[in-house]
């Protein structure tokens, strides 16, 4: 890593953060969506906790908070992919490619911007859940672990989104950026624990890496961590693979000129 890399990354990150927070049309959906998911799932579906054998101690709001927090972190990354696609559509990204002395810094900058965006969204979602009466049984270290999971999910999603956006270089890539993330997240045990799922969704959820991250997050909130090492290992592996993907996307954009 060179000074040139950090210089490019810092510049792109600053621009990404500035554009996000200076434009309500960009920042508001990424804040409002998770809040509505939290309200709809934790409020509207709270009767699900009456299902026999549902025994998540902190309650249904905390059960759903874990999902919404990880979802908000993933979508923080996805929305950054939209920004990358927009930059290619407007021609800005091509000028950026011309003037950046270390182009991999561009990916790092967008990913850093996604992380800052999620810090704000994640904080707001957390405050909203606490105001709604969420019970947290994990200690400080476990909560740091919870947000650590969120950071990794955000990085994986941002790198995926950057890769797709750089390969396709058009805003029309939006559906392709978000649909796989949406599907992977919703094929995890969102509404009930894995053992209460049945049929094909149980089979799919069982092998879905998002299930491991979600169960680890719920365990951390409940103060009884489960599958934590596996979740971190999977997410770190995912980040490594996605950084290669994003790098190849960048190479494709470089070739396209």
Partner 1 sequence: MSVSAAASNGVPALVQPSLVDQVGAVARRSVTRTFRQRGLLVFPLVFPLLLFAINGSALGAARKINGFPDVSYRDFALAIPFIQGALFVAVSAGTDLARDIESGFFNRLALTPLRGSALLAGQLGGAVVVACVQSLVYLAVGIASGVGIASGFGGALVLLALSILIAFGFAGLGALLALRFGSGEAVQGFFPLLFVTIFLSSSNLPRNLIKADWFREVATYNPVSYLIEGVRSLIITGWDGEALALGFGFALLLCVITLSLAGASMKNRLVRT
* Interacting residues with partner 1 (CB under 8 A): 25, 29, 32-33, 36-37, 39-40, 43-48, 50-52, 54, 172, 175, 179, 183, 186-187, 189-192, 196-201
Tell me whether residue 154 or residue 178 sits nearer to partner 1 (CB atom).
178
Tell me whether residue 52 or residue 91 sits nearer to partner 1 (CB atom).
52
Give the other-Cβ count within 10 Å of 97's Cβ: 17
CB of 67 to partner 1, least distance (A): 11
CB of 190 to partner 1, least distance (A): 6
Give the other-Cβ count within 10 Å of 104's Cβ: 17
Q: Which of 192, 215, 35 minimizes the C-alpha distance to 129?
A: 35
CB of 38 to partner 1, least distance (A): 10
Tell me whether residue 17 or residue 190 sits nearer to partner 1 (CB atom).
190
Instruction: Say if CB 65 and CB 55 are below 8 A apart.
Output: no
Tell me whether residue 64 or residue 154 sits nearer to partner 1 (CB atom).
64
CB of 250 to partner 1, least distance (A): 26
CB of 197 to partner 1, least distance (A): 7
Residue 240 in tokens: 């490594």
Tell me whether residue 208 or residue 243 sits nearer to partner 1 (CB atom).
208
Q: Which of 117, 147, 139 minimizes the C-alpha distance to 33?
A: 117
CA 40 – CA 115 distance, rounded (Å)? 25
List, in sequence order, the alpha helices (H) in the chain. 3-22, 24-38, 44, 60-90, 92-99, 104-131, 140-168, 174-186, 200-206, 209-222, 228-256
Which residues, in sequence order, are CB contacts of 55 under 8 Å at separation 6+?
Answer: none
Tell me whether residue 119 or residue 191 sits nearer to partner 1 (CB atom).
191
CB of 198 to partner 1, least distance (A): 6
Instruction: Say if CB 43 and CB 54 are below 8 A apart.
Output: no
């Amino acid at each position: 890593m060179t000074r040139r890399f950090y210089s490019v990354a810092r510049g792109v990150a600053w621009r990404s953060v500035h554009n996000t927070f200076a434009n309500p049309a960009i920042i508001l959906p990424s804040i409002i969506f998770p809040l509505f998911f939290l309200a709809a799932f934790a409020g509207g579906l709270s009767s699900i906790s009456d299902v026999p054998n549902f025994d998540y101690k902190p309650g249904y709001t905390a059960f759903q908070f874990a999902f919404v927090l990880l979802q908000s972190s993933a979508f923080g990354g996805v929305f950054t992919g939209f920004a990358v696609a927009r930059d290619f559509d407007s021609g800005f990204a091509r000028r950026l490619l011309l003037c950046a002395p270390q182009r991999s810094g561009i990916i790092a900058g967008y990913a850093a911007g996604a992380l800052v965006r999620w810090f704000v969204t994640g904080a707001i979602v957390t405050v909203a859940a606490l105001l709604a009466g969420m019970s947290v049984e994990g200690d400080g270290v476990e909560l740091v672990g919870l947000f650590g999971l969120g950071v990794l999910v955000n990085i994986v999603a941002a790198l995926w989104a950057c890769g797709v956006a750089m390969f396709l270089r058009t805003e029309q890539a939006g559906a392709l950026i978000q649909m796989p993330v949406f599907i992977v997240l919703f094929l995890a045990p969102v509404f009930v624990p894995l053992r209460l799922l049945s049929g094909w969704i149980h089979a799919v959820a069982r092998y879905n890496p998002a299930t491991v991250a979600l169960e680890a997050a719920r365990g951390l909130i409940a103060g009884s961590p489960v599958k934590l090492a596996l979740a971190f290992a999977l997410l770190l592996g995912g980040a490594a693979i996605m950084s290669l993907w994003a790098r190849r996307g960048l190479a494709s954009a470089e070739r396209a000129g």
